[in-house]
Structure 1
């Protein structure tokens, strides 16, 4: 059966999506010890959404992606792809080749003995003969997807003659050419130079929005996740610890792990003194602070302040109320300078884009924007 042609669909018309319920994955390592890679994972990615699986190495994000693709068989759980049951209660129902998914691998997985056009055409020329498109249709689809991914001029080149960025476009074109409604990405930009990566990220998001396919994208890069995602799913030790929009994840983390992993934060221990509808009073090493926070938190919690929400002034010229501190280290990081400032028993990380406040030993006064802070549950 011929796959639907995504290249001629409008955004929002693709009837696709992924649903994962109770997914559990256990395997044995080289010493035959049991290792739990996924624990009771529930995930729903609506049709046409860009979902990013985010977390450190070993958190289970790639294993989850491979289970959806059919490259791994889970121990338990159910997976639906584009409305079709792929796995039911741990039993594989739909084999890998029959799932309506395309995949872009970190290593590209391109055929070196084929040129660009042949690589892109490959998904259309395999499988039962009766299900393959006619040769003219294959050529039309390949030409169109090469044009849309801006590599039509490379059609006759061998893979070894391409740059990393060009190879990435070939891998994406191959994943899209069959019209699959779901495309899976396994850290596809990690091997590409930073400047090219920024451009490819923007192009990838634009193509996903234009063609309307459902994207599930694995990365450990928080900037990549925040830039690309409609929904971010943060994993830790095989579990989903928070799901939300990029704004939710960055500004309102619900655990220490998320607050520490996404963005650059100062996490300061505190005791809950009071709670209102949307604010929490905390006793901290800085004294009492009243900042935004979720309801029902306590009795202890963490004050989260982002490095860019602090300010600095020299002690001898300060006109603002704050805490006295001493600069312990200073690092120029391009767009901003990072200061490590000792305030009492605390060392806080502060980013400043506009001023130079002196090197180690300089006395400063510092403070943060209380309305930009957030209270995180302790021990999460």
Structure 2
């Protein structure tokens, strides 16, 4: 594979970078402090075609590849972790399952407005008793005549309060071995019996909308079933593989922001008569940060390239997500250390990067789950 970006990929990087610097970065502190979802920013991202970046033009998208999408996530995340997370979730978890597994009618009805940026979508997988053990889903959907009747509870669902549809996983029956069949069903958020709350007090990514959902006899047409009713588990595993690429890219973006802040501060901060960037202890920190960020970025692009070329990418997506999130946390932690006491203060922003980064080691599968995925891919 060629690690040199194409002309189109560079253009997308430059366009998103310029937009993020002008429109997103100036609002990042406010978004974090107020926990206010940047709705206006997402309208502008839609106008630019960024919300439909990896989808074909026939569905209202921009026809970009996964590498281009990863680059966009990195640039947005560099400007604001909250905005980056909601963007990644809107595309990878909200819209992508409909593109991967939806019927043509579902794509026209649900994917086209998402790709055009007219609305957002969400992915309802996690439950109070089904986090890392996603197979432990308890939400049930019973087919009654021409409708599914859904009952259950979901938690930690990104963008749900601003979405028009949520793809919900639910048990729809038993297989020949007596195991639960988990299906995916598109649920409009205006459905009777659906309650969406956003009451979480979070450590980081505070401006990204995070919700709990309660489904009480929610009725949706049976044609809202997404893909094969018996393949829901495999469908969301594939969805999560793609989502891990985006979380890895987001980790790289936040880490890059922390590194640049630390490098600039080290050059400006004078102690003992010279810039602290001249001290070997600081130089080694910066060198390690730069090295690990670049390695993480390369792994993200490799996983994205494999996905674009129709090759297996489960292991590489896990590599990217695991390494980028943990290396990113190290980078953000060292950025605070380089800033000393100032790094502990909100004014200097680096403490926000650390708070935002922590979720990257948890969401889309914890670091422990990534290691389990990798071990299984190795045949252990």
Same fold (TM over 0.5): no
Q: Normalising by the residue count of structure 2, what TM-score does the alignment of the two structures yield?
A: 0.27
Q: 1 or 2, which has the higher strand percentage?
A: 1
Q: Normalising by the residue count of structure 1, what TM-score does the alignment of the two structures yield?
A: 0.27
Q: 1 or 2, which has the higher helix percentage?
A: 2
Max radius of gyration: which structure? 1
